[in-house]
A and B are shown apart, each in its own frame.
Chain A
Amino acid sequence: MQLLLRIGLGTGAVLMAAGLVAALVSGPTPVLPLQIGGLWHRDTALPVRLCAIGILVLAATPAVRVIALIVLWVRERDWKYAAVAVTVAAVLTLAVALGSRG
């Protein structure tokens, strides 16, 4: 599990650093507020895209850890705790799913 956290942190940081280098090479690009849907638009500049994907990887790292715990507790047949971890995962899903409303 520690490995998981390190991988997430490392990948996110590397992607963001790559974005920074790309920004330095290509000169200033307009940095717009990040929209997940905009990531795959053709007109989103590469540095912004790299940086944004890095942020997404980093933000998703804790969520992956929750999923790893679900797997662990299901394997141990610890249903009480598998349910606890599933509840946390459900709240996280809700956060992303409902975030755009209101």
Chain B
Amino acid sequence: MSAFELSGLILVGAFLAGLLGSLTGLGGGMVIVPLLAIAFGVDIRYAIGASLISVIATSSGAAAAYVREGYTNIRLGMVLEIATTTGALVGAFVAGLVSTQLIAMVFAAVLLHSAYLSSRPREEHISHDMSDRWARWLRLNSTYPTPEGSQPYGVQHVPAGFGLMFVAGVLSGLLGIGSGAVKVLAMDNAMRLPFKVSTTTSNFMIGVTAAASAGVYLRRGYIDPGLSFSVMLGVLAGALVGARLLPLVHARWLRMLFSLVVVALAIEMVYKALTGRI
């Protein structure tokens, strides 16, 4: 196979990953990294490097649209970015020190956990109470647009959310994903934000988090320009098409499809890692 044919195939794979990632809201990284590592035999560290670049691109594109709509809590995002970027730094360092088999095993575990989470309905616990002490000190409570006008909301359990965000950052740096699932845990369950606020604020943060990881991967030489370009273009195009299709498709059916893909990828990754072929 020539280099151009290979790039074309990677482009198609990245497009599908971006499409699925955007339709399910879990991001393209979850699919593209295992796809590159398993189907294309790319070293998983280069796959992660390329995925990080595509995560930055899609996050910048989406964040530009969301901030304008008034859902993003920029102050909260920046406070939590301290946790995610520090975590990403740690994760990216660890990625250089451990074996690719171990990275693949951790990736498989995160894939399975995400499949489990996405198969359950997401619960909204909006808090109209006063925010906790930290949230008051940092003035994190805000308002968000609803059909009935601007609604105020409080922010709870800031230290727990901050800690979970550190974990999300570590996973992002180690695996090259946006770690949407952990962020949802932190923002919906711990801090009790409205869905639209947690989704858009998390998207706002993903770019900066991935940039911290990408800094380490760049210096280590794990970002291959050709591979990153094909992956970025494919994922970005897939995400854009996905955003257009979203109102037209059934969410439940999609989540099932996503869970199936993810479980299949996870099993394949564990198998390849155990037989030393990743």
Q: How far is the CA of A100 from the CA of B229 in the complex (A)?
A: 23
**Which residues in window 60-75 of A have CB below 8 A to B?**
60-63, 65-66, 69
Q: Are B223 and A55 in contact (CB under 8 A)?
A: yes
Contacts of B210 in A (CB 8 A): 62
Contacts of A5 in B (CB 8 A): 60-61, 63-64
**Which residues in window 7-56 of A have CB below 8 A to B?**
8-9, 12-13, 16, 19-20, 23, 28, 31, 33-36, 48, 51-52, 54-56
Contacts of A36 in B (CB 8 A): 218-219
Q: Are B97 and A102 in contact (CB under 8 A)?
A: yes
Task: Give 1 or 0 for each of B109-122: 1 = CB within 8 Å of chain A CB.
Answer: 00000000000000
Q: Are A9 and B215 in contact (CB under 8 A)?
A: no
For the complex, is B208 an interface residue (Cβ under 8 Å from A)?
A: yes
Q: Are B229 and A9 in contact (CB under 8 A)?
A: no
With a 10 A CB-CB cut-off, give which of A56, A58, A98 has the most chain B CB atoms.
Answer: A58
Q: Are B232 and A81 in contact (CB under 8 A)?
A: no
Q: How far is the CA of A23 from the CA of B198 in the complex (A)?
A: 41
Q: How far is the CA of A52 from the CA of B49 in the complex (A)?
A: 13
For the complex, is B159 an interface residue (Cβ under 8 Å from A)?
A: no
Q: How far is the CA of A65 from the CA of B209 in the complex (A)?
A: 12
CB distance from B131 to the nearest CB of A (A): 15
CB distance from B212 to the nearest CB of A (A): 4
Residue of chain B at shortest CB distance from A92? B212
Q: Are A92 and B224 in contact (CB under 8 A)?
A: no
On whether A2 and B214 interact (CB within 8 A), knowing A31-B225, A58-B53, A69-B78, the answer reads no
Q: Are A95 and B92 in contact (CB under 8 A)?
A: yes
